[in-house]
Structure formats: structure tokens, C-alpha cells
Structure 1
Amino acid sequence: MQNIPFRLLCQSDPNIQVGLNGRMDHGPLDTLAQRAKAARQFRKLTQTQVAQRAGVNQSDISKIERGDTLRPTGLLQIARAYECDPHWLDTGDGLPPWDQRGTLNASGIYQRTGDSNVRPGPLVRGSGRYPLISYVQAGEWTAIHDNFQPRDVEEWPVTHLNLGENGYVLRVNGDSMTAPGERWSFPHGMLLFVNPDKDPVPGQFVIVRRERDKEATFKKLIKIDGELFLEAINPAWPKRYIQLEPGDAWCGVVVDASFGNLP
């Protein structure tokens, strides 16, 4: 995206002013309508351009900005069109796009502007926050994602990794993937950052929806005699190997794990 000086950006809109500190000074941003309009104007986009980026109708954007729609569908896609934090757009909590002081480069890295002695850091902004969902939701994620609302979950963990447009987070439940003393161990309560658009290969840790119980499970993908199996890496687990069956579906590859913000 082209870098536009703050003052030139704001000259065309009397509702957006630049303070002495060079930051954006807005009027009230208490409603979704106000935040959506402010984010669009900051990005110098028309309603039609936002609609095209988000895959919605221009009338949907117009209704949001008029305040006619309080729970719009496709809010995550609209937030991506604004390149802003979806949680901020929905609730007002978090950083607005003009407080993030940088742009995305071609590699998906957050490049700070006007700071030549600072090296580019990992992206921690709207697309670096992902919803913490349940294993039932994970199993249905491709079906429910388009209508998913940021307020549908309470936690949005942050990662420096790009999980793709449909990324999500799960919390480890149980001890099947705990392996004390081994290289990889995922204790109960650990956060899993999942890229559902990444193709799984044997040796990776994956989320798979089992057809028999309609719920996702977290396991290691392995190949035995040419057949794909799911492995519970806990050596004491009673049933460590589960063969994939017809109807089982990939829900993503785990690309990172952590306990989140430690005290």
C-alpha cells in the first residue's frame, strides 16, 4: 500500500485531524459505524473498494456506516480490508489502524516507517490476533468462518506468525499430546496456533475432524506402511495410533504453540 503523509491523508476529511504528536485525532469512536467509517477513510478507500476487498456488497458497507447493521456478517473480512484489528473494529478495544505506525511489506512483515535504524519486526497487528475457538467450532470452521463474529469469542491470542486469512487458536485439552522429556510436548492448557490453509505432511502436528464424533482432534500425522495415522505422542496413552478413515477432514496444521502471556 502506498505510504501517504498523515497531513495529506487527512486534508480531504474535516472529521479527521492530526494532532501535534502526529497521531490521528478523531471524534467519538464509540460505535461500529464510527469505527468502520474512520478506518475506511484512514485507508483512503471508497465503500465500493472495501466491499470488493471483503467480498460483500457495497450496500452492506453503507448500512454499517449508517448504523443500520450492528452485527454484520463478514466482519473479519471487512477488518482485513481495512487492515485493522477485528476486535477493535467490533468492540473498540485494542489499537486502531492509525496507531500501528507502519505498513505490510510484500513478505507479510510489519515494516515501521520513518525509522531507518529499526529493523523490520514480525507483524503483530490485526492479522496477528486470532480467535480462540472450541474443538467443535474447529471441526466446522470452514462452514462457519464467513459468518463468525469477533464478539463470538472472548479471547484473541496474539502471534508473530501469519496463520492465513482463516487462522484460529485452540487450547490443548487432556494429556494425549504430553510427552515429558521429549523434544515436543503439549501439556493441557497450551495454546495451539493453527493455519487451516496449509497442506499437512507426515511429521507435522495437525487438527483433524473425525467423522465418527463430529469433533476435531489434535495429533501428530505419521505414515506407517503407506497409510496415514494420527499419533498421540504421550508414550503412556492407551490408544496411541488412529488410522484416518473416510469422512475425516483436515482442519489445519499447528504452526506454533505457547502458554500465551505469562505472569
Structure 2
Amino acid sequence: MTFQDRLEQQMKATSIKGIDIVNKLNVSKGTVSQWRNGVTKPGGENAIRLAKFLRCNLTWLIEGKGSPNKNLELELGPDLRGKAPLISWVQAGKWKEIDVNMIREDVGITYYQHTANVSDDSFALRVKGDSMTSNTGGKSIPEGSVIIVDPNLSAEHGKVIVARLEDSNEATLKQLVIDGGSKYLKPFNNSYPTMPINGNCTIIGVVKQVIQDF
């Protein structure tokens, strides 16, 4: 059953017409028409208000999961801002040199939806190793996490960045420390050394979000 099928089913069950949705949600007739024809789906607050008005489960209405009348408690989740291609650490190291459009046109590429306020040039990476896993209870980016990286942001002191050292073809993930004009790449795990950088490092981008599964 598609979204529009579920929408029509619940509208019929509650005797709610399209114009009722227009008036209740304060949206245009064109918007409701697109929902009913399956052109678009409501998102964010509109999705929640629609599910409440139709007296049904939000997850069932939008995603088809569960049943119409279970778990009717609804909360406003974060608005998705975009999606970023998941690339390799080698690709990240060459990000300023490669044709980004070729990656986007790759039908096999995986995309991660995110809520970060980043540019369209952003990309995703899956964290390898434990150098950014804190062993002192501080900030931590565990292995297996997915990070959203924006190459158009300025790298400032304290920011977590993706960078490539000149003697490596892979990028690395570290915190940028600027102290008295000197720059360092610092891991969150103090079992690893802090590395001074002085013209031997290319900063690829700044990490804006960490996506972690439990």
C-alpha cells in the first residue's frame, strides 16, 4: 500500500475531505493534491498535524510501518536537511581534485540523510579505527559512526576536521588545535600522539554531524 493509498483510506475512515485538510493544516489545495496523487509526502510538522487530524499512527501513515491505530503519541522530529554520499577515505583525500558529479552519478553510491546545516558539496564517511574514541570520558566519535563533512566550512581551532597528510593517500579524522601560530592534529584517544602540521597537511573539510547506530 502506497502513502496515497493510506491517506485515502484514513480520509474515508474519518470522513475527512481534501478541503478539510487544506483548512485544518493551512496548506494549499495544490499541496494536498500532490499528497493525494503521491507526488510528494508531508514532512516535519505537517506530517504530524496530518496524522493527528486523521487520528492515525504517524509512522504507519508516512512509512507504512505498524498499524493505523497503534502508538498514536506523536512528537516532532528533526527536519531532514539533505543527504550526503558515503565515500571512501581515499576518495575523501582526493575530494578537492576529483569530479564530484561522477560520484553523485554512481548508481551504487549510498546516501546518508542528515539534519546538519551544510552545503550541497558535503559528503559522508564511516569512521575507521579508535583514534577518535575517547578513553577519558570526553568527546568521542566511535569506530563505525558516520560523519557528515562540509568541505566549504572554515577550519577553526577546536573543530573536528578531515585532513590528508602529504605522505598518505587517505584522509584522517582529527581535532584541529591552533596554539600560538602552530597547528596540530589531535586525536580524542590519548593513546595516540598529537601530530604537528606545518605545510604538510591539506584540510579537506569540517565535521558537522555524527550519525551513530546503537
Q: After TM superposition, is the score higher than 0.5?
A: yes
Query: Does the 8 A contact of 2:82 with 2:114 survive in 1?
Result: yes
Structure 1 counterpart of 2:23:
none
Query: Does the 8 A contact of 1:123 with 1:161 survive in 2?
Result: no
User: What secondary structure does 1:219 align onto?
Assistant: strand
Instruction: Please give the per-residue CA displacement for 1:73-127, whole angstroms capped at 9, x wherever unaligned.
Output: xxxxxxxxxxxxxxxxxxxxxxxxx32336xxxxxxx674995999986432xx5
Residues 1:180 and 1:258: Cα distance change in structure 2 (over 3 Å): farther
Instruction: Please give the per-residue CA displacement for 1:219-263, whole angstroms capped at 9, x wherever unaligned.
Output: 0100233201101221112xx121223252221111121324x4x
User: What secondary structure does 1:243 align onto?
Assistant: strand
**TM-score normalized with structure 1 length:** 0.53
Structure 2 counterpart of 1:151:
106
**More deviation, 208-217/242-251:** 242-251
TM-aligned CA deviation for residue 194 of structure 1: 1.1
Give the unaligned 5+ runs of structure 2.
1-26, 53-73
Query: Does the 8 A contact of 2:125 with 2:146 survive in 1?
Result: yes
TM-aligned CA deviation for residue 214 of structure 1: 2.6
Residues 1:114 and 1:155: Cα distance change in structure 2 (over 3 Å): closer
Structure 2 counterpart of 1:241:
194
TM-aligned CA deviation for residue 172 of structure 1: 1.1
**TM-score normalized with structure 2 length:** 0.64
Larger Rg, first or second structure (1 or 2): 2
Structure 2 counterpart of 1:24:
37
Give the unaligned 5+ runs of structure 1.
10-17, 26-97, 103-109
Structure 1 counterpart of 2:154:
199
Higher relative contact order (CA 8 A, sep 6+): 2
Structure 2 counterpart of 1:210:
165
Amino acid at match of 2:30: F
Number of matched pairs? 165
- For 2:116 and 2:151, locate their aligned partners in 1 and report how far apart those are by CA, in whole Å: 13
- For 1:246 and 1:222, locate their aligned partners in 2 and report how far apart those are by CA, in whole Å: 15
Residues 1:173 and 1:136: Cα distance change in structure 2 (over 3 Å): same
- For 1:152 and 1:180, locate their aligned partners in 2 and report how far apart those are by CA, in whole Å: 39
Query: Does the 8 A contact of 1:207 with 1:252 survive in 2?
Result: yes
> What is the CA RMSD across the aligned residues, in angstroms?
3.1
Structure 1 counterpart of 2:42:
101
